[in-house]
Amino acid sequence: MNKHPSAKALIIDDNQADLEYLQLILEMHNIAADCINNPHDALNIFDPQKHDIVLIDIQMPEMNGYDFTLKIKDRTEAAGIPIIFISALDQKEHIQKAFSVGAQDYIQKPIVPSEIIARVKARLKQSKDFKQLKKNQTGSNQHVSRKQGKQSSDKFDVALLNENLSRLNLLKKKALPFDQRNKIILAIEKNLKDNTSTFLKRSKKYKLTPSEQQILLLLISGLSSKEIAVSLSVSVHTIKTHRKNIRKKLGVTNQQVNIVDYFLEG
């Protein structure tokens, strides 16, 4: 690569041809890569301070991709590193397990360069946005004591939103109508780019809980109560209850007033 890499990936695959092909694809798009054919060795090489994303196969000798993911997800400092499974396995249970252990995406082989680079760039952007969210969160709470910070109900729960994004990725594999499925997914990812500092400030002002903040963020995305319920795997009644509580905290008694508009107007 002729210029400084925009990011660095860790690629783990026991198939040497696939390993080298993935490395070539990434490097052609200015993304450096460490390539390892053994998950055990990869555990020692993986560095959350150096690696921005992990691409990993599932079926490998000694340790599979699921176990590797679980092990690195146990490391607090690795919590925000996106993981993409790239595998020939295409059964529903394999895909579901990938997301359940903490993957952010799942790509089926054979390898298609355009798909690989599009997914990698999307997850890198998502990771960058999360880091900014966390930075904003830290800044907004820097004058709050440690005890108060733990008990504070106005803390924006980045981990909860990250978990939700994993669920939304899983929706891609379910038999939802195309327009509904993609509306849910794209809306969440879009909002990672929104003015999070303003959102945090106003959430604190109205003393919204993390769950209320999450649902309000989805409402701002333009999702309906039904769509939010689908994305979070809860009942519509639960979402309506949260909306009622949000309306009460905002002090909006007139049912004709849109709580999203009211919140955004500050």
| Mean pLDDT score of the chain | 78
Q: Which long-range contacts link 2-5 to residues 24+ away (Cβ below 8 Å)?
A: 3/30, 5/30, 5/31, 5/32
128-143 per-position pLDDT tens digit: 766 665 565 455 445 4
Collapsing DSSP to helix, strand or coil, 143 comes out as coil
Phi, psi for 120 (deg, rounded to 5): -60, -45
What DSSP state is assigned to residue 25?
H
**Are the C-beta atoms of residues 25 and 116 closer than 8 Å to each other?**
yes
What residues contact residue 79 under an 8 Å CB cut-off, 6+ apart?
Answer: 73, 159, 162
85-115 per-position pLDDT tens digit: 999 998 888 888 888 888 888 999 999 999 9
Determine the average pLDDT of the residues in 14-42: 95
The two structure tokens encoding residue 13: 């695959």
pLDDT at 125: 83
* Gap between the Cα atoms of 215 and 228, Å rounded: 7
Quickly state the pLDDT bin for 159 (edges 50, 70, 90). very low
Class at the top of the CATH hierarchy for domain 7-120: alpha beta
Q: Of 248, 143, 139, 240, which Cα lies nearest the Cα of 196? A: 139
Per-residue pLDDT for 81 more than 50?
Answer: yes
pLDDT at 96: 83
Quickly state the pLDDT bin for 153 (edges 50, 70, 90). very low
Pairwise pLDDT comparison (239 vs 151), residue with the higher score: 239
Quickly state the pLDDT bin for 77 (edges 50, 70, 90). confident
Per-residue pLDDT for 209 more than 70?
Answer: yes
H or E element in which residue 117 lies: helix 113-140
Lowest mean pLDDT among 20-24, 121-125, 130-134, 165-169: 165-169
Lowest mean pLDDT among 37-41, 123-127, 150-154: 150-154
pLDDT at 155: 39
The two structure tokens encoding residue 73: 């997800």
* Gap between the Cα atoms of 52 and 82, Å rounded: 7
Q: Is 234 exposed, middle or buried (0-12, 13-18, 19+ CB in 10 A)?
A: middle
Q: Of 90, 93, 22, 28, which Cα lies nearest the Cα of 53? A: 22
pLDDT at 196: 56
What residues contact residue 67 under an 8 Å CB cut-off, 6+ apart?
Answer: 39
Question: What residue segments make up the domains of the chain, in order of their start?
Answer: 7-120, 141-265
Pick from 83-92, 142-151, 204-213, 220-229 the range whose average pLDDT is largest. Answer: 83-92
pLDDT at 220: 74
* Gap between the Cα atoms of 215 and 234, Å rounded: 12
